[in-house]
Amino acid sequence: MKARNFKTSTLLTLGAGALALAMLSAGTSASAEGRDPVYAAARASGQVGEKLDGYLGFPTPPSAALRSVVEDINIKRKAVYAQKAQANNATVEEYAFTAGCLAIARTTPGEKYQAPDGSWQTRGAGAPNRDSRCP
């Protein structure tokens, strides 16, 4: 794979972001996440949050059941990211990062997300603290 300059990489990431938004809004993994009561309860209670890398993470140590549900969701997300990245001539990591940016932006007050410094934050009424590279 040939190296990309920053501008090209940024444009690919932005293009991937638009697709990530559509995928996460109406995609299979988003639907599955919304239906699972273990996931929904964990997200509402702050046991699960959106990470910068486009996957779900644990602000606190999870139960075995919750870990299993989240691992399944993350596997599904990665499969979608890989498919969309290939279709858009981007890397899976670029696509996942942009999806993470968008997922963090869509958190609602009270939900957990990973801040640019890696710490877990609780979303307040204002916008979340997102990475400066986010679209």
Q: Note whether residue 61 is domain-resident.
A: yes
Q: Note whether residue 110 is domain-resident.
A: yes
| Strands (E) located in the chain | 49-50, 56-57, 112-114, 120-122
Number of domains forming the structure of the chain: 1
d(CA 22, CA 4): 25
Q: Note whether residue 62 is domain-resident.
A: yes
Q: What is the pLDDT of residues 10-34, one digit of tens each?
A: 444 444 454 444 444 333 334 445 5
Q: Note whether residue 40 is domain-resident.
A: yes
The pTM assigned to this predicted structure is 0.76
The parent domain of residue 106 ranges over: 32-115
Q: Note whether residue 57 is domain-resident.
A: yes
